[in-house]
Amino acid sequence: MESADRDQIDPLLEFRGEFPILGRTNYLISNSLGAVPRAASDSLKEYYETWATRGVRAWEEGWWTLAADLGDLTAPLIGARRGEVVFQPNVTMAHAIVLSALDFPDGRRRIVTDAMHFPSILYLLDQKRREGIEVVVVPTDDGIRVETQRIVEAVDERTSAVFVSHILFKSAYIHDIASIAARARAVGALIVVDGYQAVGTIPVNVRELCVDFYIGGCLKWLCGGPGAAFLWVEPDLIRRLEPRITGWVSHQAPFDFEDRLSRRDDAWRMLVGTPSIPALHAARPGLEIVLKAGIDAIRAKSLRQTGRLLELADQAGYPCTTPRDPNERGGTVAIDIENGYEVSRRLKALDILCDYRPGAGIRLSPHFYTSDRELDEAVAVIGEILSTGSWKAFMTLRSTVT
Ligand SMILES: Cc1ncc(COP(=O)(O)O)c(C=O)c1O
């Protein structure tokens, strides 16, 4: 079927009108920054109006519980229940709070992670070495995947915690989380999953995966902007945790301003200080639209469109660092051609928004609002840029990678 015909029958394209930037650009960068919904403007205006008219009363009229209220909205996207998810300022900080809650008794002073985890998390784990914790980083052979079996074999009775991404940020490889979690459980280790590249593009169910912690954020596939990450902790486990990074918002009676911390027993136990209210306002409309579009429909379309991109790249003879097996593939296709960085800059200048990561290539991430024609255009324009050599104008910019 021709792309134009396919677009005609794509029900998800009905949502395009809700994202102003789609009228101006070919937006293939949802793995990095999802498109902003038009409704975010109203939501941010509402934030301002509340502040301007209600002043400090805004806290008791909604702001104080917003980090948990938005958690309730997010819960269905990860198979969690109401009251189990809270918002955090960013994914790294959510990991830091979780890490600060873990204990490493003698005989269990080991963390297992993988070499393709997001660097920020690796930096964080690396700090634990200063406390004598062994951090085992399971290597990758091909820069695309880290074999599940290797991770499973690295997790043993000496392990306290396993930190893995659900979907690898560089290659969009989907980890077999259920198998890794089963191994962790069998040896008494906890598993912390970074689902930033997963939630909003694939169905996630924390209970089916049997994980202990699941962290995500709204910036990318949930079209929510920066400052809105979220954390789920298995409810029975949370009561036993004593996060060292903590604060007054986790107190049972924060407005009593007691000297000693009496922690709450629910998801609020992982909160620290005043939540980022404007960020939470910006995040709500994206969540609502993704829920309305439906995650199963989004995943089905993503599989089809990433498959289509791979096909177009194959036809053009461009190597891709993206898994071919649909069960292993998230929402991004990375085309790893020579001078990929410069080509990506030229694409951006032509309003085809994408990014470039060393070792991965030019990353193209269609989302539910992307048309098939836009995929054709992106790959055709890469061909033009290469054949005309117009990428050369960007050769001096490499030091300012964004
Ligand atoms: C998988 C993954 N984890 C963590 C991060 C960093 O998140 P934050 O900046 O919210 O700490 C990113 C950012 O791209 C990511 O893709």
Distance (Å) from CA 170 to ligand 1 centroid: 11
Ligand 1 atom nearest 117 alpha carbon: 1
Residue type at 83 in one-letter notation:
G
The structural domains of the chain, ordered by start, are 3-30+294-400 (3.90.1150.10), 41-291 (3.40.640.10)
Long-range contacts of 138-141 (CB under 8 A, 24+ apart): 138/112, 138/113, 138/114, 139/114, 139/115, 140/114, 140/115, 140/116
Distance (Å) from CA 259 to ligand 1 centroid: 35
Distance (Å) from CA 248 to ligand 1 centroid: 26
Of 91, 175, 204, the residue with max ligand 1 atoms within 8 A of its CB, to mutate for a pocket test, comes to 91
In angstroms, the CA 392 to CA 207 distance is 50
> Within a 13 Å sphere around the CA of 35, how many CA atoms are in the beta-carbon half?
27
Ligand 1 atom nearest 197 alpha carbon: 1
In this prediction, residue 45 carries a pLDDT of: 98
* Tokens found for residue 246: 């903590």
199 forms bridges with which residues in the sheet? 202
Distance (Å) from CA 218 to ligand 1 centroid: 11
In this prediction, residue 1 carries a pLDDT of: 84
DSSP states along 98-144: HHHT----TT--EEEEETTS-HHHHHHHHHGGGGT-EEEEE--SSSS
Q: Please name the helix (run of DSSP H) or strand (run of DSSP E) that holds residue 335, with its range, or none.
A: strand 333-335
DSSP states along 248-280: GGGBSSGGG--SS--B-SSGGGG--S---HHHH
Helix axes 295-316, 372-388, angle to 10 degrees: 30
Ligand 1 atom nearest 94 alpha carbon: 11
How many other C-beta atoms lie within 10 A of the C-beta of residue 9? Answer: 8
Distance (Å) from CA 244 to ligand 1 centroid: 22
Distance (Å) from CA 119 to ligand 1 centroid: 8
State pTM to two decimals.
0.96
Per-residue pLDDT of the chain (402 residues; tens, 9 = 90+): 899 999 999 999 999 999 999 999 999 999 999 999 999 999 999 999 999 999 999 999 999 999 999 999 999 999 999 999 999 999 999 999 999 999 999 999 999 999 999 999 999 999 999 999 999 999 999 999 999 999 999 999 999 999 999 999 999 999 999 999 999 999 999 999 999 999 999 999 999 999 999 999 999 999 999 999 999 999 999 999 999 999 999 999 999 999 999 999 999 999 999 999 999 999 999 999 999 999 999 999 999 999 999 999 999 999 999 999 999 999 999 999 999 999 999 999 999 999 999 989 999 999 999 999 999 999 999 999 999 999 999 987 665 555
In angstroms, the CA 384 to CA 45 distance is 42
Distance (Å) from CA 28 to ligand 1 centroid: 18
256 burial type by CB count under 10 A (0-12 exposed, 13-18 middle, 19+ buried)? exposed
Q: Ligand 1: which residue has its CA nearest to atom 3? A: 118
Of 31, 90, 169, the residue with max ligand 1 atoms within 8 A of its CB, to mutate for a pocket test, comes to 169
Within 6 A (CB) of ligand 1 lie 90-92, 118, 120, 165, 169, 194, 196-197, 217, 229
In angstroms, the CA 311 to CA 83 distance is 43
In this prediction, residue 47 carries a pLDDT of: 98
Q: Ligand 1: which residue has its CA nearest to atom 7? A: 91
Distance (Å) from CA 242 to ligand 1 centroid: 24
Of 118, 214, 276, the residue with max ligand 1 atoms within 8 A of its CB, to mutate for a pocket test, comes to 118
